[in-house]
Chains A and B, each alone.
Chain A
Amino acid sequence: SSELTQDPAVSVALGQTVRITCQGHSLRSYYATWYQQKPGQAPVLVMYGKNYRPSGIPDRFSGSSSGSTASLTITGAQAEDEADYHCNCRDGSGTVFGGGTKLTVL
């Protein structure tokens, strides 16, 4: 199966903008999906498709894609955004997840 690569850790100052990236060959064919996971909790869907947010997800979250790289951008990061973020994408076998990015809000 294919792979998705994420930076292990990213930090952002409170109120600033941060971009979390995901790279992989499958992203040339399929949109990325993004999940937020806080310690001890199940992942929560935050972004899917071209740039769609589920109900209840703040509009400071946005998604984009270019070539084999997908990005999740948080504009005006809040303390409650500190979490692990996992990208996910279809591939030839089914679906695949990235290794996750730990976001720290300073």
Chain B
Amino acid sequence: QVQLQESGPGLVKPSQTLSLTCNVSGASISSGGYFWSWIRQHPGKGLEWIGYSDYTGITYHNPSLRSRLSISVDMSKNQFSLNLSSVTAADTAVYYCARVSSGSYYFDHWGQGTLVTVSS
């Protein structure tokens, strides 16, 4: 059974970097065939795609976040990470990690989500 679990600080100060990790179990990131993705949801709002990476490190980013965004994959730990720099209160959201089928581009497994608040 594929499971994803987000971890990281729940509170980040403005102008600092938001860093989250997604631990994957029940599947191997190195097996290919999938993208490993981050999505966020502002309070009471819809979903916003942040970006995704495959196991080789090829990444795709939301153009509106590209300048501040880094997504990386660590196959040795079977996890992938998100770094979002220069955060503001507008980055306060629930952050989800998810697996995406690279053939059909659907998000088939999601983490439970983690709330990150940007505040001093």
Contacts and interface: CB of A to CB of B under 8 A. Distances in A.
Given A43-B110, A88-B107, A94 B47 contact: no
A93 B96 contact: no
A88 B113 CA distance: 18
24 contacts: A1-B62, A1-B63, A6-B46, A42-B96, A42-B111, A43-B107, A44-B110, A45-B107, A48-B104, A48-B106, A88-B47, A88-B49, A88-B106, A93-B61, A94-B49, A94-B51, A94-B52, A94-B61, A95-B100, A96-B49, A97-B39, A97-B47, A97-B48, A99-B45
A88 B104 CA distance: 12
User: How many A residues touch the partner, as a band?
Assistant: 20 to 34
Contacts of B52: 94
A1 B106 CA distance: 18
A48 to B, nearest CB: 4
Given A1-B62, A1-B63, A95 B49 contact: yes
Given A43-B110, A45-B106, A54-B108, A97 B46 contact: yes
A43 B106 contact: no
User: How many B residues touch the partner, as a band?
Assistant: 20 to 34
Interface in B44-101: 45-49, 51-52, 60-64, 96, 100
Interface of A is mostly: strand
B35 to A, nearest CB: 9
Nearest to A6: B46
Interface string A91-106: 0011111111000000
Listed residue (B100, B106, B107, B112) with the most chain A CB atoms within 10 angstroms of its CB:
B106
Interface of B: 39, 45-49, 51-52, 60-64, 96, 100, 104-108, 110-113
A30 B19 CA distance: 32
Given A94-B61, A97-B49, A42 B113 contact: yes
Given A1-B62, A33-B105, A93-B63, A99 B46 contact: yes
A103 to B, nearest CB: 14
Contacts of B62: 1, 93-94
